[in-house]
Amino acid sequence: PPAFSQPMFVRRKVEGVRNLIAVGSGKGGVGKSTVAANLAVALAKLGYKVGLLDADMYGPSVPTLLGLKNQRVYVDENNRIIPLEKYGLKVLSIGFLLPSEDTPVIWRGPMLMKALTQFLFDVNWGELDYLILDLPPGTGDVQLTLAQNVQMDGAIIVTTPQDVALADVRKATAMFREVQIPILGVVENMAYFVCPESGNKYYIFGKGKVMEFASQYGTKVLGSIPIDPQVAEDSDKGTPVVESHPESEVAKAFLSIAKLI
């Protein structure tokens, strides 16, 4: 039987955080970090107190997405890390502790896991309505350590409509089920492209597959995000599209998903 069917772990709650929501994906490159960052900014715009924790320890992208590259964090008088603040969010990433953005994290598992739990529990988050966790892709050590040690309120799974992405998302779904973290739903990213000339929608990676997956697996699609070159451009510039182009179709899609979580 799977090890997790026994409740052998005591899951700690992150003090002061009302909703701890993990954003995961089956594989890399589907836009998980982009979705996590934009949903966090969208929730802040809705008036909530929000934190964003980059738990993608080997490939942190939150510093780039939020224009916080080469920033450093400090500790308060109680030795608790003070998160950075940007776009109304409290933000923490392992990137803020590395000597430079090109420095790889070469820690072994146990040290990484210690750092990760410190990122949750030894941080001066203050009072938060939502703490959004940008997980690494897949179903590895980080996800399991978090599931064993931390009380999480829900998970959002990001996928694109490609078959390769959907194959892995089934595994991610099974993992969250196994560790008994409620799945709030699936975000379909890069769902379609709106031609700027004609306004026609093109379902580049196929239509309806994510919806089909969700109903098969007893979950729901929280929303579909179009492919928009602006998303990538704004991310590279360090301003999430919800912040820089709030009137765009893609920003509105993020805002309507934020209202559902």
If one asks whether residue 228 binds ligand ADP (CB under 6 A), the answer comes out as: yes
CA 143-253-249 angle, to 5 degrees, is 140
Using CB under 6 A as the binding criterion, the count of chain residues that bind ligand ADP stands at 18
Which strand ranges, in their side-by-side order, compose the sheet holding 221-224?
Answer: 84-86, 89-93, 50-54, 128-134, 17-25, 154-159, 183-188, 221-224
CB-side neighbour CA atoms (13 Å) of 258: 26
If one asks whether residue 67 binds ligand ADP (CB under 6 A), the answer comes out as: no
Show the beta-strand stretches assigned E in 68-127: 74-75, 81-82, 84-86, 89-93
- Position among 24, 26, 31, 161 found at the interface with ligand ADP (CB under 6 A): 31
Give φ, ψ of 53 to 5 degrees: -110, 120
Query: From the CB of 39, what's the least distance to ligand ADP, in Å?
Result: 12
Give φ, ψ of 9 to 5 degrees: -115, 145
Rounded CA-CA distance 71/57 in Å is 16
Q: Taking contact as CB under 6 A, which single stretch among the options 12-20, 24-32, 76-84, 207-215 is the one that binds ligand ADP?
A: 24-32
Query: From the CB of 236, what's the least distance to ligand ADP, in Å?
Result: 7
If one asks whether residue 33 binds ligand ADP (CB under 6 A), the answer comes out as: yes
Per-position x/- string for 96-135, each x denoting binding to ligand ADP as judged by CB under 6 A, each - no binding: ----------------------------------------
Q: Taking contact as CB under 6 A, which single stretch among the options 89-97, 140-148, 206-214, 221-229 is the one that binds ligand ADP?
A: 221-229
- Is 158 annotated to bind ligand? no
Q: Taking contact as CB under 6 A, which single stretch among the options 39-47, 85-93, 201-209, 227-235 is the one that binds ligand ADP?
A: 227-235
Rounded CA-CA distance 234/180 in Å is 35
Rounded CA-CA distance 242/132 in Å is 16
Closest among 132, 56, 31 to 91, alpha carbons compared: 132
- Is 31 annotated to bind ligand? yes
- Is 30 annotated to bind ligand? yes
- Summarize as ranges the residues that interact with ligand ADP (CB under 6 A): 25, 28-34, 61, 137, 189-190, 225, 227-228, 231-232, 235
Annotated binding site for ATP: 26-33
Annotated binding site: 26-33
